[in-house]
Amino acid sequence: MRFGHFDDDRREYVIDRPDTPHPWINYLGTGEFIGIISNTAAGYTFYRDARLRRLTRYRYNNVPTDEDGRFLYLRDDADGSYWSPTWRPARRPLEEYRCRHGLGYTSIASLHAGIQARITTLVPVGKTMEVWSVEVTNRRHEAAELSLFSAVEFCLWNAFDDATNFQRNLNIGEVRVSNDTIIHCTEFRERRNHVASFSCSERLAGFETQRDAFLGPYRGWSRPLAVERGTTSDAIATGGYPIAAQHVRWTLEPGETKRVYFALGYHELDKNAASGQGGRSVPDPEPIEAAVSPLLTSAGFDEALRELRAYWDRMLGTLHAATGDDDVDRMINIWNPYQCAVTYTVSRSASRYESGIGRGIGFRDANQDLLGAVHMLPQHARSRILDLASTQLISGGAYHQYQPLTKQGNDAIGSGFNDDPLWLIHATCAYLKETGDWAVLDEAAPYGDDAAGRETLYEHLLRAANYTLDRRGPHGLPLIGRADWNDCLNLNSHSSDPDEPFQTVPIEDGAIAESVLIAGLFCIAARDLADVALRRNDRAAAHRLAEADRAMRDAIRSHGWDGGWFLRAYDAAGMPVGSSTNGEGRIFIEPQGICTMAAIGLDDGRARRALDAVGEQLATEHGLLLLQPAYAGYRTNLGEISSYPPGYKENGSVFCHTNPWIVIAECLLGRGDRAWDYALRINPSHREAISEVHECEPYVYAQMIAGRDASDHGKARNSWLTGTASWAYVAMTQWILGVRPTFDGLVVDPCIPADLKTFSVVRSFRDARYEIHVSNPDGVCRGIRSIHVDGTPLTGDRLPMFGDGETHVVDVRMGRAA
Ligand code: GLC
Ligand code: GLC
């Protein structure tokens, strides 16, 4: 069952009813100001950091769900009836409803009692504000006396404090009203230099700044007293729950349309610009009004929408593919890169499932998120890599996350994940392959625990590799530390106290527990880094890395192979995990993908056997399971992984992030039919028809889909912010379609289903545009018979680097070599 449909021409997902199985969300903002918006306009906004600079309040565990956010009410002043044109929060039935989630904007249209409304919300490119355009049309045969009420509820900046420290924060709220702009200035009197504003393009009939005055005692947002009465009190709030609510009153003739604009802004002000010791304690409204007012006009808003479309045209124009399969094409061309960009921007911090409090920018996450975004945002990726390197530790290790506002690493969500540092090598190499910007390696960056000890990025990378080499266990495999990519494989925690969070409990690392995943990851990183070292003429490092790579491969072959597939780990007692000797958790997906990607077992048939085992034991119609059989009960030697009910999360769900690894691995084996099939199983558009089962948005990947052991197999959770986005994009574009950046340029080496006869990819790369047409007359999965570039035959599969800003036509004929 579907709840909407794709409109590919407009690059929108169109939702036909407000009561989707879950709120289906979108993201507004391309830079520092971010808004989350659901299909009923709920959600919240923040500036750069969802924890430290939260503008509006959102209650995750609220009932009804998704109540908070952008509040709008239309009131028929003739009879006092009122409704919300976005359905929520009043939830009165709408005769028509349609939500269009587009790229960086959302538009909700509805009809109630002959009054039509359309609300379009966006964050203009380069601005720190969210703007709403509200269009109201009278479709009745007689004039309508209408009131429009808008409201936002402010968060008292620090979202954690806001949700916990009520004895203080119920006494600190402050607002100012200047002309019709409501300014939220809590704590501006002391150490803050920033405020939020809410403005309206119309002259107000009234306003409200205190939540309880607007709602009335013991009422919720569905029945505000002010709306019921049709009047506000125009009072200035101190303490309590500061809000900004505005009242506009009109008479609309039959057929008449009014357009009104609202803007929610974030402003940093110069506090010393005026009087008083320690500077101003009251914000100056002038710069605020100057920043906001140009956007409160049709010309300003329409221009902002045009700029936003142009922004996404540029972003998505970097790569365009046509395979003839709608599910694949719309993911490659629209939704997957869009999700990659969003995930890259906010990491795992803020979604319907991430509260914006727990995590900032994750080290391993951000490095992987970069893989799917670097071709669109190369400049930004460069600075992100340097930010990440700056939180690296002198040991070569890494803070597991840093706070986006301060860029300082913190251990609040744990530390000692021994895979972390290697991802920096992975991301940097992806950046180098995309851009050829070798100079980045000479940029100096400090260390998170030694700000003075600046070294070049290249040296940071060498330390990252050494971190693994310095920490090897009894089998010569990398020690796992707290956990590896699988946060929940806590082999050194041995926790039996329910009050200890798995991710922060002190670990007892006896230097026994080893990870085969990190071993494979190391081999991928070491080969790339050795290549980099050679190009820098650092032969000694290249040699060391090549030796280390060889030793690690030997260790994997001798101790990381279980007989039918790659082993997952050794626990703290030296017992195998992910082995046929285990009753539960006999096979894990991660090492099958990662070791094959490291080219281990490609020459001796092990990779093929490992992937066959994945196909036999882990493949379901909803995707590939993380492990089988799921753990039925809790095991102290394994930790959080066994804490989840069977089939959920790391305990045997389809943990989607890992699926593209297998897709890539299948491509390395040349099995294009399987690669494509696996990619489709988790493709959200492909799953749209079973939205009642999947439940999450059909336009973006989710972190997990409940596994075979769960009663609701197929149900997705944790949509939007997942490494799946990047990896799915990399797998599809670089490995299946095979247009792959390398250090020396773009390679074309597809691995496709045998019955895919033609496809094309247009790719901008290092200042040239490649129009690649692939034909597959012999019906092969992989293999190239000939390539012509601008009509001239090419030897090898690497396209020339033109760098001339021109378009070049590449004809690729697949088939068995002549
Ligand atoms: C989550 C985390 C990521 C981790 C994965 C597996 O997606 O953000 O860092 O690798 O779970 O545990
Ligand atoms: C990852 C995992 C999750 C775990 C969390 C701990 O996100 O997906 O299961 O609880 O890490 O931080």
Cα-based distances in Å from 697 to 25, 223, 249, 298, 352:
8, 29, 37, 31, 11
Whole-angstrom distance, CA of residue 6 vs CA of residue 27: 17
Name the closest ligand to CA 639: 2
Q: Catalytic site residue 744?
A: no
Q: Which of 787, 778, 782 is nearest to 813 (CA)?
A: 787
pLDDT score at 271: 83
Candidates 487, 509, 528, 749; catalytic one: 487
| Per-residue pLDDT at 818 exceeds 70 | no
Q: Is the CB of 413 under 6 A from ligand 2?
A: yes
154-180 pLDDT per residue, tens: 999 999 999 999 999 999 999 999 988
pLDDT of residue 281: 83
Tell me which of 144 and 817 has the higher pLDDT: 144
For a substitution probing ligand 2, which of 487, 638, 657 has the most ligand atoms within 8 Å of its CB?
487
Find out whether 409 and 391 touch, Cβ atoms under 8 Å. yes
Average pLDDT, the chain: 97
Confidence of residue 278 (pLDDT cuts 50, 70, 90): low
Q: Are 726 and 371 in contact (CB under 8 A)?
A: yes
What are 643-687's pLDDT values in tens digits? Answer: 999 999 999 999 999 999 999 999 999 999 999 999 999 999 999
pLDDT at residue 509, as a whole number: 87
Pocket flag, ligand 1, residue 653 (CB < 6 Å): no
420 CB less than 6 Å from ligand 1? no
**Cα–Cα distance between 584 and 119 in angstroms, integer?**
52
pLDDT in tens, 286-296: 999 999 999 99
- CA distance linking residue 715 with residue 649, whole number of Å: 11
Read off the pLDDT of residues 80-107 as tens digits, 9 standing for 90 and up.
Answer: 999 999 999 999 999 999 999 999 999 9
Closest-lying ligand to the alpha carbon of 364? 1
524-537 tens-digit pLDDT: 999 999 999 999 99
pLDDT at 276 over 80: no
Contact assessment for residue 177 and residue 150, using Cβ atoms and an 8 Å cutoff: no
Q: What is the dihedral of CA 554, 555, 557, 559, to 10 degrees?
A: 160
> Which residues are 681's β-sheet partners?
none
Backbone angles phi, psi at 220, to 5 degrees: -115, -175
Q: Where are the alpha helices (DSSP H) in 374-435?
A: 378-390, 420-435
The better pLDDT of the pair 208, 360 is held by 208
C-alpha of residue 89 to centroid of ligand 2, in Å: 32
Choosing from 363, 485, 704 the residue with most ligand 1 atoms within 8 A of its CB, the one to mutate for a pocket test is 485
Helix boundaries (H) for 391-482: 420-435, 457-469
Mean pLDDT, rounded, for 800-806: 97
Give me the percent of the chain exceeding a pLDDT of 90: 95
Q: Looking at ligand 2, which residue's alpha carbon is closest to its atom 1?
A: 487
3-state DSSP call for residue 672?
Answer: helix
Which ligand is closest to the CA of 723, given by its number?
A: 1
Q: Which of 129, 46, 37 is nearest to 86 (CA)?
A: 37
Residue 275, pLDDT score: 47
Report which residue type is found at 372: G
420 Cα–ligand 2 center, Å: 15
Three-point CA angle 61, 64, 69, nearest 5°: 80
User: How many separate helices (H) and strands (E) can be counted in the chain?
Assistant: 20, 42
Question: What is the arithmetic mean of pLDDT over 214-239?
Answer: 96
